[in-house]
Each structure stands twice: as structure tokens, then as C-alpha cells.
Amino acid sequence: MEEKKDELKRLVLDQDTEPMVIDCPDEFIGQEKLIEKINILIERARPLNKALPHMLFIGEDGMGKETLAKFITKKMNSRITSVSSQSMSRAGDFIGLLTNLGDKDILFISEIEKFNRACIEFLLPAMSRYHIDFIVDKGPYAKNIEFTLKPFTLIATSSHLNKINKKLLPYFLINYNFEPYLDCQIGQIIQNKAKSNNLAIDLELLKDISQNSYGSPADVMTILNKAIIYANSFGIKVLNKEVIEETIKISGHQTIFDTKKIDRAISDEVRLKVWRRDEGKCVKCGCQEKLEYDHIIPVSKGGSNTERNIQLLCEKCNRSKSANI
């Protein structure tokens, strides 16, 4: 039994899960309400040399959840280890990961709703007591091996709060549903990205992209990253609509100029108020994925673009409503 215990410890030490310091922007654009909360926690934690409480970020892919986790890591002068829930199929997968975390390190887990029950039961004591138990063998030969962990911060993400195991939720001090980004925020994100790659960006292009972003940097950043590769490959110094369209043509990426997903007559202010009022979910089914701004009374029938006439619907419920009008 002692040989098995020693072998387990060797496996833990040999696993390549060393956290790394990751570069990220000096400022995070958007999600001001969340940033305000995080700054309060950081201001309290740093003088005491304490780890931050665990956090849960809710939102679709491309909303900047991992970027924010890296930003927090930088402000805490710590390190981050990023893993996907799909790579953690067994409770034992956590041993090397958790035991290699340093004091105040960040553990970033994406799509935590996909964890199975065994992984969740293993993760709970790690979150609550910084402690894990691992059982070797079965029956009368079973032996419990205990590991004491260094205080760390778990930042988990999910696209749907209702799918997360309810046992996990009490251990997240911050549970935040990412809000849609304003056009000006999308524009600032684009400018910062271009500047970091020593590229200028045409103002008309900037305006056009921002207005077709649908409140999410996801599609914008995908095509922008491709355009940066294209520009750097051929010595282009300014990103304009022609460069974007050439990039789209070559890469086969669907152009963000083709379809406007949202009636631009709905102002940023109204969109944000509606999002907060409806708590970032479909008012009919509660879904938090593929949300759209819907006119309760269609514009064609005299409906206005005011907050009272706008609601959040998921794509499925919106299509169902449209079919019945």
C-alpha cells in the first residue's frame, strides 16, 4: 500500500499542469457592474495576501469571460491554469491540476455545467476547504490519501445557469450574467486589438463593425483576428472594409456586413435596460442562449422602440411568435 501511495504522489508531481503567467490587456472593456465588484474584492484581498473568492461567469462564447479571468490574474499578480470540463472526465484528473496550483492562483474552468457527478463531488471540498481525498483500491484494501491545497480562486464559466449542478452554486461569491456590449465598447475593443498588432483601423469600418456586433465581441474578434493575419502577411498597415472583405472571401467566414441581426433603431440604452429587466434570459422559456430583442408590438403595426415594447426572446421562441403573427 505504501508503494501505491508513493507512486500516486509521483504521478501528481509528474503531471504537466504548471500554471503560466498569460499576457492580457491593461484594462477590460465593458461589464462595468462586474468590474466594480471585482475591484472591491481585489482591493481587500491584496493587502491581506489572500486568494479571491470563487466566481461564476454566465454568457455565450466570445463574451470575454476568459479574457476577464486573465485580467484578474494580472491584477492579482498571480498565475492562471485554464482547462475545459471536457478534459476532466474523472475525479482523478483533478489531482495533479489542483495540487500544482500555487497560493492565490486562478483555476479557470470553461463549461462547468458539463462536469459529471463524480467530478463535482471531488471539486466541492477543494472549493470549500482547499482539501481533497483520493481513495486507492477498493473494499478492505481501500486507502484514503489526503491532499491539502493552497488557497486558490476558481473562475468557472457556463452558457446556461440552469444546467449547472446546484451543489456548486453556493460556493461562488460572484454569479454574474454577462451583459451585451455597447457599440462604443465594441469599438474600443477593436481599436485596442488593432493597436496591439501595430495596425490602424478605418473609422467607417470601425463604426460598421460595431453596429453589427449584436452586443457580442465574438464574431467581430473572429474576423478581426483573420484580418490581422492577412494584413501582417502582406505588409498591410491599415484595416479597412476592403481588407475585411478580402479576408472574408479568402477565409470563407460569413461576413458581418451581410445581415443585421438587430434593428439598429433600438438604442444601446434601451437594449441594456431590457437586458437587465429581463435578467438576461428569454421571458417565455427562461433560456439564456441565442437571445434576441423582440418588439412586443411589431414596428410594422405601429410598435415603438421603447423599453416597454421590447423584450428578450430566445431564437426558438421568437421564431414561434413570428409564425403566429
Helices then strands, each counted (H, E), the chain: 11, 11
Q: Is 13 left (phi over 0), alpha (psi -120 to 50) or beta?
A: alpha
Query: Residue 108 in 3-state DSSP?
Result: strand
Terminal Cα-to-Cα distance of the chain (whole angstroms): 71
Residues 27 and 129 grouped into a single domain? yes
Residues 69 and 173 grouped into a single domain? yes
Q: What is the mean pLDDT of the chain?
A: 84
Residues 21 and 164 grouped into a single domain? yes
Question: In angstroms, rounded to a whole number, what is the distance separating the alpha carbons of residues 119 and 114?
Answer: 10
Answer yes or no: is pLDDT of 263 > 80: no
In a domain, 63, yes or no: yes
Render pLDDT for 185-219 as a digit per residue (tens, 0 to 9): 999 999 998 998 999 999 888 888 887 777 778 87
Residues 56 and 170 grouped into a single domain? yes
Residues 43 and 109 grouped into a single domain? yes
Structural domains in the chain (count): 3
- The arithmetic mean of pLDDT across residues 217-235, rounded, is 88
Domain endpoint, select from 121, 152, 177: 177
Domain endpoint, select from 193, 220, 251: 251
Range of the domain at 122: 2-177
Beta carbons within 10 angstroms of residue 321's beta carbon: 15
- Predicted confidence at residue 324, as pLDDT, reads 60
Question: In angstroms, rounded to a whole number, what is the distance separating the alpha carbons of residues 86 and 182?
Answer: 32
Render pLDDT for 32-84 as a digit per residue (tens, 0 to 9): 999 999 999 999 999 999 999 999 999 888 889 999 999 999 999 999 999 98
Rg (alpha carbons) of the chain, rounded to whole number: 23
CATH number for 309: 1.10.30.50
And the C-alpha cell for 90? 474523472
User: Are 163 and 157 in contact, with CB atoms under 8 Å apart?
Assistant: no
Answer yes or no: is pLDDT of 286 > 80: yes
pTM of the model: 0.76
Residues 75 and 107 grouped into a single domain? yes
Residues 84 and 99 grouped into a single domain? yes
In a domain, 25, yes or no: yes
CATH number for 235: 1.10.8.60
Domain endpoint, select from 177, 200, 230: 177
Residue among 296, 303, 65 at smallest CA distance from 174: 65
